[in-house]
Amino acid sequence: MRRSVVRFSVCFIVLTFCSFVEAQEPKKIPRLGIIRTGAPPDPLTDALREGLRELGYIEGKNILIEYRWAEGKNERLQEIAADLVRSKVDLIVAAGPGPILAAKQATGTIPIVMPVVINPVGSGLVDSLARPGSNLTGLSSQTDELPGKWIELLKQIIPKASRIAALVDSTNDIGQTKLTEEAARSLNVELDVLRVSSATDFLGAFEAARRKKADAMIQLPSAFLYAHRMRLTELAVKYRLPTVHNQSDWVIGAGGLMSYAPNLTEMFRRSAVYVDKILKGAKPAELPIEQPTKFELIINLKTAKQIGLTIPPNVLARADRVIR
């Protein structure tokens, strides 16, 4: 009996001591790396942080975030991604073709969440939307029908439009140009593809659009072009070139004419759910990539007036938001 009591006491002391030691060991705080093509302040990154806060993550307390900004220089992306991998982050968030490809090339093991990805299957990033099959997952911002919708909108506000320019980031063209060319052919529109790779190419592209007598312009999705949205919308106004954009920020914040796109702010906020699931043990390869279900049409009447354009009432009536 006495020996049993002693054994019990020893076991109790050992278990108590182990529990005490475990309680004293600091819990590992997950480290999140974010790659952005632009520079702060960035409303989309703010939306991601807001989504994390809604899920209980407090920066500096139970999650650490390392930011990497390319400041509009695509050539820095690979170096930035490699630096994050060397710093041993637990997860990387990369949005847009350039950051995503740079992150993918830098690591095949660290999970990568894509708040915005264009044509992920067609570009070879993942095996399928249902089962990505790699270390990448997230949200798709585009569908194959979008380029046709952009051209239709331009023809509705400019019925005589027969020639449209498409501004393309030549360093990250992953299928959208081809889809736009196919849509233009089906809608009997001549498409002039204007490729740029640096900010110094912008003026030449708009001059080319003028020489070719383009009636309007489409700016295809690109994190690089987005980083220079203020300059590009200024040029569109200067050249009096009606332009449709692929993100609402081009219109709301940068003064562009019109956008038809999914709500990217919501997509970035939603991507926090993917971050949370992966940090809790989910595998990116098994998390389906979400597709947009709601698209918003936003029109800036101030810009329309600046370029001498009247938006037809039937188009205005369909707008989700009109900036007057």
Query: What are the φ/ψ torsions at residue 4 (nearest 5 degrees)?
Result: -65, -40
Residues 8, 12, 15, 18: what is their CA dihedral angle, to the nearest 10 degrees?
-130
- 14-28, 37-51, 200-214, range with the lowest pLDDT: 14-28
CATH, domain 146-261+295-323, list 3.40.630.10, 3.30.70.360, 3.40.50.2300, 3.40.50.300: 3.40.50.2300
Q: Do domains 31-141+264-286 and 146-261+295-323 have the same CATH topology?
A: yes
Buried b (16+ CB within 10 A) or exposed e, 274-311: bbbbbbeeeebeebebbebeeebbbbbbebbeeeebeb
DSSP 290: B
pLDDT of residue 117: 85
pLDDT of residue 22: 47
pLDDT of residue 227: 83
User: What digits encode the pLDDT tens for the residues 226-249?
Assistant: 889 999 999 999 999 999 998 888
Helix (H, G, I), strand (E, B) or coil at 216: strand
List residues bridging with 113 in a β-sheet.
Answer: 93, 137
Contact 232, 225 (CB under 8 A): yes
DSSP 287: S
- pTM exceeds cut of 0.85: no
Where do the structural domains in the chain lie, given as residue ranges? 31-141+264-286, 146-261+295-323
Count Cα neighbours of 289 within 13 Å in the Cβ-side half-sphere: 30
Q: How confident is the model at residue 33 (pLDDT cuts 50, 70, 90)?
A: very high
- How far are the Cα atoms of 29, 34, 127, 192, 264 from residue 260, in angstroms, in the given order? 39, 26, 28, 20, 11
Q: How confident is the model at residue 16 (pLDDT cuts 50, 70, 90)?
A: low
Domain at 31-141+264-286, CATH class: alpha beta
Q: Is the pLDDT of residue 318 over 70?
A: yes
What does the DSSP assignment read for 125-157? S-S-SS---SSEEEEE---TTHHHHHHHHHHHH
Q: Is the pLDDT of residue 49 over 90?
A: yes
Q: What is the mean pLDDT of residues 248-263?
A: 92
Contact 205, 167 (CB under 8 A): yes
- 4-18, 113-127, 233-247, range with the lowest pLDDT: 4-18
Contact 300, 258 (CB under 8 A): yes
